[in-house]
């Protein structure tokens, strides 16, 4: 998969009008220059004897690093307290029109007792006005063992014969209202239907497709469903793609690519990995390509179990994952953070582990698993839902099991660009809307931050130099940068600008503009 940023150079248009320092994408790498004592730069090639030269590199970043910050855990807000809620997992959250909407997966005690756990799971629904106090509405769409008063919206008897497992929900801004909610989940088909599919679509099968047959005579595939309201669902009968992916599968519509994108489990040399596929037709996906696998940066018993792909709220060009690392040596799950400019190229910041299991005997000591969706929360915070388990992953499971809570950070603050002592860098040239610069920044008592605005000619904008900048010291989610008390950047509309930053004992999280 080729990134849309292939071959692109500055200036860059800030689609969301913000620079988050999640990675190095907007930090300039600097330029090289070997020069004479008089400051003259000689040509690269020549036959003349060289005079003494000195290094004159410009805008080389120094004294800075990226650092992921650990999440703060809330208390569980969804627990398995209904007759049909045996084991809870795979949450999806959407904040829409002032309401927090949550879909979560349930393995019922009935399915566990029958030996079919994982084949006909249930999708349940809850909602909240504040993200703290939740209600499980009585919807009456189906009965569970004679009980019509429940919050089941899909799966079980409401799904097609393929069943439901490892799913998520997303809002599709590109389609008619009757399909604006979409579900993406694992399902199963008979061996006979699988053989027919192989004959019909031979090019859409993994060469090792015998692995598809894993539950008796059933084959694994990814399926979809559509809804006008997220409550009443219609199954898409045909498989979307033939893939073994018995974990939370996540899909969304990428407004920049104008395509549907999905993230699955893949397998590389027997190790669980993360794959990606894209399509312009939600009825048919190609086989995924692996984008993250357990490389040498993790331990020898570590596997990437699930992806937890999302975007930052209100900034869909900042792609995030909270992949679940299965540390087989402990049989526990840990959650990390990965970032991407496009959903294709991914990297992990240093200290990427942001969510860990609790102490022994705590509700999440067995492992933590981030679900789908990042939302703004009360108190100037952002968060993702996660499931905690009181037992390790392969420990014998007995219901009730699994609870949902928030993993949250201060707004915008899960990766910091940090200077422990003195640091300096220049941003790339960027084009943005507005003429005022805002920082999300934290300094120690002895720390300071100074900003210099630089024009396209590489020279500081008049009266917007380091010497003109008013020192920034303190802890601010939104601090306007001023120069001698003036906040405007002094640029023409749509004119590219870069910013030099000097910082000491400080963490810089973002630059935004208005």
d(CA 22, CA 337) in angstroms, rounded, equals 10
pLDDT digits (tens, 9 = 90+) for 138-197: 999 999 999 999 999 999 999 988 999 999 999 999 999 999 999 999 999 988 888 888
| pLDDT of 408 over the 70 cut | yes
Q: In Å, what is the CA distance from 207 to each residue of 287, 293, 489?
A: 11, 20, 57
Contact between 225 and 183 under an 8 Å Cβ cutoff? The reply is yes
The widest CA-to-CA distance across the chain, in whole angstroms, is: 94
Q: Where in the chain are the domains?
A: 12-68+415-513, 72-410
In 3-state terms, what secondary structure has residue 109? Answer: helix
Q: pTM, whole model, 2 decimals?
A: 0.95
Provide the pLDDT for residue 427: 98
pLDDT digits (tens, 9 = 90+) for 35-72: 999 999 998 999 999 999 999 999 999 999 999 999 99
Provide the pLDDT for residue 213: 63
> For residue 311, which of 48, 2, 15 has the smallest C-alpha distance?
15
Pick 12-68+415-513's CATH classification: 2.40.128, 2.30.29, 2.60.120, 3.30.310: 2.60.120
> For residue 139, which of 77, 234, 235, 232 has the smallest C-alpha distance?
232
| pLDDT of 297 over the 80 cut | yes
Q: In Å, what is the CA distance from 495 to each residue of 16, 194, 431, 502?
A: 17, 57, 6, 23
Provide the pLDDT for residue 210: 60
**Which pLDDT band, with edges at 50, 70 and 90, does 208 fall under?**
low
Average pLDDT over residues 214-226: 85
Half-sphere exposure in the Cβ direction for 65 (13 Å, CA): 11
| pLDDT of 74 over the 90 cut | yes
Q: Which two tokens stand for residue 232?
A: 């009443």
Average pLDDT over residues 108-112: 94
Pick 72-410's CATH classification: 3.30.70.260, 3.10.129.10, 2.115.10.20, 3.40.50.10470: 2.115.10.20
Number of helices and strands in the chain (H, E) = 2, 36
Mean residue pLDDT of the chain comes to 95
Do domains 12-68+415-513 and 72-410 share one topology? The answer is: no
Q: What is the dihedral of CA 44, 45, 48, 51, to 10 degrees?
A: 20
**Which pLDDT band, with edges at 50, 70 and 90, does 317 fall under?**
very high
pLDDT digits (tens, 9 = 90+) for 476-506: 999 999 999 999 998 988 899 999 999 999 9
Average pLDDT over residues 295-309: 97
| pLDDT of 216 over the 80 cut | no
Contact between 17 and 433 under an 8 Å Cβ cutoff? The reply is yes
């Amino acid at each position: 998969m080729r990134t849309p940023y292939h071959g692109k150079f500055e200036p860059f248009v800030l689609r969301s009008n913000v620079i988050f320092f999640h990675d190095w994408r907007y930090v300039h790498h600097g330029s090289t220059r070997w020069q004479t004592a008089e400051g003259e730069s000689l040509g690269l090639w020549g036959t003349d004897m060289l005079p003494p030269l000195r290094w004159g590199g410009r805008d080389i970043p120094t004294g800075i690093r990226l650092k992921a910050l650990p999440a703060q855990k809330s208390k569980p807000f969804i627990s398995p307290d209904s007759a049909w809620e045996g084991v809870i997992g795979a949450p999806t959250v959407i904040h829409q029109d002032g309401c927090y909407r949550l879909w979560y997966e349930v393995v019922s005690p009935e399915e566990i007792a029958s030996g079919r756990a994982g084949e006909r799971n249930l999708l349940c629904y809850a909602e909240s006005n504040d993200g703290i106090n939740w209600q499980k509405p009585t919807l009456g769409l189906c009965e569970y063992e004679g009980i019509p008063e429940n919050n089941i919206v899909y799966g079980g008897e409401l799904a097609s014969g393929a069943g439901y497992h490892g799913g998520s929900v997303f809002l599709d801004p590109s389609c008619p209202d009757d399909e604006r909610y979409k579900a993406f989940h694992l399902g199963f088909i008979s061996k006979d239907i699988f053989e027919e599919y192989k004959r019909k679509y031979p090019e859409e099968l993994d060469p090792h497709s015998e692995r598809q047959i894993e539950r008796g005579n059933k084959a694994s595939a990814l399926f979809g469903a559509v809804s006008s309201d997220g409550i009443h669902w219609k199954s898409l009968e045909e498989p979307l793609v033939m893939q073994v992916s018995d974990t939370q599968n996540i899909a969304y519509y990428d407004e920049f690519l104008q395509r549907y994108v999905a993230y699955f489990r893949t397998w590389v040399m027997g190790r669980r990995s993360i794959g990606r596929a894209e399509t312009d037709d939600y009825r048919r996906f190609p086989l995924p390509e692996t984008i993250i696998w357990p490389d040498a940066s993790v331990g020898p018993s570590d596997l990437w179990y699930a992806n937890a792909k999302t975007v930052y709220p209100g900034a869909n060009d900042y792609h995030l994952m909270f992949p679940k690392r299965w540390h087989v040596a402990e049989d526990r799950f840990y959650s990390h953070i990965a970032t991407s400019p496009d959903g294709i190229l991914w990297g992990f910041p240093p200290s990427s582990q942001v969510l860990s299991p609790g102490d022994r005997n705590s509700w999440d000591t067995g492992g933590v698993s981030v679900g789908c969706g990042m939302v703004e929360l009360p108190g100037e915070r952002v968060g993702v839902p996660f499931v905690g388990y009181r037992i390790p992953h392969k420990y014998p499971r007995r219901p009730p099991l699994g609870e949902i809570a928030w993993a949250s950070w201060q707004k915008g603050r899960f990766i910091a660009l940090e200077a422990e002592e003195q640091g300096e860098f220049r941003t790339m040239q960027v084009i943005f809307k507005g003429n005022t610069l805002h920082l999300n920044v934290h300094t120690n008592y002895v720390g300071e931050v100074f900003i210099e605005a630089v024009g396209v000619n590489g020279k500081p904008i008049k009266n917007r130099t380091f010497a003109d900048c008013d020192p920034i010291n303190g802890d601010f989610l939104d601090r306007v940068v001023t120069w001698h008390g003036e906040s405007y950047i002094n640029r023409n509309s749509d004119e590219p600008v870069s910013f030099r930053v000097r910082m000491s004992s400080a963490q810089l999280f973002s630059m935004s503009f208005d």
